[in-house]
Amino acid sequence: MSPILGILASSNYQRVTSSYYSIATTTLGTATASVTFSSIPATYTHLQIRALTSNASYASTSASLYLNSDTTAANYRNHYLYGSGSAAGSSTDGNSAANGVMGSGMSTGPAAWVIDLLDYQNTNKYKTIRLLNGYDTNGAGYVWFGSNLWMNTNAVSSFTITAPVGTFAINSSFALYGIKGA
């Protein structure tokens, strides 16, 4: 096999049945403080949210994640590990919603997010989230990953990501996916 194959994606394109489904997408036409996916179908085992965001006004603020519109801080826990480019750190906000960095301008350094919400329909256990997130602006930025807990056994039917300060910028996009179990 040639070392540089130059594979033509179109010629190698395969349609296969997967267990990964696109549920809904939101791309912001105006700056918005909060985005919610509601009425999430109960037909999947896990959820994944993939996003590209920035804050319209502030360079490195964080966004918070809430489930089922529950904004009671005491119902959440989080721990996270981050790199600022000069130092690695780890922290917790104690009883607080999951969070991550929002990014610094859609055209200069948007933040990418991959958020996994596991077993979201299970009514026998608290819900756990893991996230990988970060942005880089060629001179600043953070890479971030966290573990998060919602101390509630209810099935999750809505997911909200909120900018506590400022707003998500125009063209920030949020996509919700469902992953089926066997």
Partner 1 sequence: MAAGSTYTPIATQTLGSAAASVTFSSISGSYTDLVLILNASGSTGINVLMQFNGDTGTNYSSTTLGGSGTTAYSARFSNQTSIEINYEGYLDSGFNTNSIINIQNYSNSTTYKTTLDRFNNAGLGVDAVVGLWRNTAPITSVVLKTHTGTFATGSTFSLYGIAAA
Q: Which is nearer to partner 1, 95 or 147 (CB)?
A: 147
Nearest to residue 147, comparing CAs of 121, 164, 123, 127?
A: 127
- Render the burial of 128-144: b for 16+ CB within 10 Å, e for the rest: bbebebbbbeeeebbbb
Residues in contact with 53: Cβ distance below 8 Å, sequence separation at least 6, in sequence order: 63, 102, 103, 110, 111, 113, 168, 169, 172, 173, 174
Q: Rounded to the nearest whole angstrom, what is the least distance from the CB of residue 54 to partner 1 in the complex?
A: 9
Near partner 1 in 42-101, by CB under 8 A: 50-52, 81-88, 90
Near partner 1 in 104-163, by CB under 8 A: 106-112, 114, 132-139, 141-145
Q: Which is nearer to partner 1, 109 or 121 (CB)?
A: 109
182 lies in the site for partner 1, by CB under 8 A = no
Q: Rounded to the nearest whole angstrom, what is the least distance from the CB of residue 6 to partner 1 in the complex?
A: 5
Positions that interact with partner 1 (CB under 8 A): 1-10, 12-18, 20-25, 39-41, 50-52, 81-88, 90, 103, 106-112, 114, 132-139, 141-145, 171, 173, 175, 177-178
